[in-house]
Structure 1
């Protein structure tokens, strides 16, 4: 995405994924004022450090301030989290999840009140990846957006074809 790819963009802004756009904007404005190059003096190493921090803050805001790029970032962030070993709480069938056509996302409510969400693109990618096993049941590990629980979202090849075509 950007040079700040290895950083958690929410941490850069001192925010959390549950913060609203207005809250993120407020954090960005505070940090931009604090680290803006025009507010700092000459070329000391402290100034260079502040400029680097300003660039990180600016890059984080450019991604998190836009609804589409924030959604993509959150999906990539969640995918990275999924690479970590987590216990699977249960298995949920894709057909038992709620479809949001506007967002292109399947979701299921977690017992904590959060959501397990998987995009149509993620399902489609997994279908393409496992296409050689036509009869095999497929699945993806999905984490809750508010707690540490994860579920295995599964579907059969026939049902996937009905949804995605």
Structure 2
């Protein structure tokens, strides 16, 4: 499942600024469109996903949590894995950390990258990307 398919707004076909009335109307339209009488090959999981999206967006607390969760997901390539900075090898003289990729290449992150909030790090040899976990310490 891709990032957009699990978004409640996308499932109901509404904008993030949609009112409660707009969300309810979109929910009914989506249910009708997915109904087995209208769409014979519709799966019950389609209807379940629509119902779940409505439950989330019709409840202000759940909607706020959904919006918050969606903002934390990085845009761009999906990381192949999450790796703690503690698993990287430090190269102190370069203020750089490296980690071997399974292709034989490596991932590299610098102190400047971390100061800039970078977490997605590409391999130097292949197209794989990892998410590097770390916390900045304030001086």
Shorter-chain TM-score: which interval?
Answer: 0.3 to 0.5
With structure 1 as the length reference, what TM-score do the two structures score? 0.40
Higher Cα Rg, which structure:
2
* Structure with the higher fraction of residues in helix conformation: 1
